[in-house]
Structure 1
């Protein structure tokens, strides 16, 4: 990424999001007054333009990128991890978790029945 200023209609983009200047620009670490200048044809530095693109055009909340998940993100972006395969695996995991959740609930119910049956039988014994 270069520091070459980027031309774009930021006012139009902001209005499409339904945000006021303070809301829109603060999400990319720019003051309201700085954002106002950018909306009035002042050059936007490339790093700021990239943050706007990531956050407002692609819906990526850059504040959630941490050292813990950065390696995974780099692997996805480089193609080392197949995103379609990762999504399919995540879906399978959700299905397994749902099945386990249902199974755990059924086991708890069965456990209650067994406890009642055993309790009845032990009470009947002398």
Structure 2
């Protein structure tokens, strides 16, 4: 079970990842981050807001590994709305 934590920082992430015995590659790939970039985050580099949002949702148990896997496999729910503009022609005519 993931710990619920309000403050997520590089030390917390690194300690969690080591406790669950996941490599940087496996852990960070879950969030669309390369191993080398994840390593920099663990060493104190600023984590971009979108990645931090995902981390927070993950550690607050609002999203699961299954949720992330579904997105990573590019499966979408059946209730996905149709695109607004299905006509791919330019609204400005030919340029």
Q: Which TM-score bucket, shorter chain as reference? A: 0.5 to 0.7
Aligned length in residues:
66
Q: Which runs of 5+ in 2 are unaligned?
A: 1-6, 82-95
Identify the match of residue 68 of structure 2 among 62, 78, 85: 62
Per-residue CA distance 1:43-85 (angstroms, 9 max, x = gap):
10121012223345525132425243679xxxxxxxxxxxxxx
- Is residue 35 from structure 1 mapped to residue 38 from structure 2 by the alignment? yes
Larger Rg: 1
Higher helix content, 1 or 2 = 1
TM-score between both structures, scaled by the size of structure 1 = 0.43
Greater relative CO, 1 or 2 (CA 8 Å, sep 6+): 2
1:28/1:51 contact within 8 Å kept: yes
Identify the match of residue 13 of structure 1 among 8, 13, 16: 16
1:21/1:35 contact within 8 Å kept: yes
Per-residue CA distance 1:69-125 (angstroms, 9 max, x = gap):
679xxxxxxxxxxxxxxxxxxxxxxxxxxxxxxxxxxxxxxxxxxxxxxxxxxxxxx
- Alignment of structure 1 residues 70-109 onto 2, 5 Å: none
TM-score between both structures, scaled by the size of structure 2 = 0.54
SS at match of 1:68: coil
1:22/1:31 contact within 8 Å kept: yes
2:30/2:68 contact within 8 Å kept: no
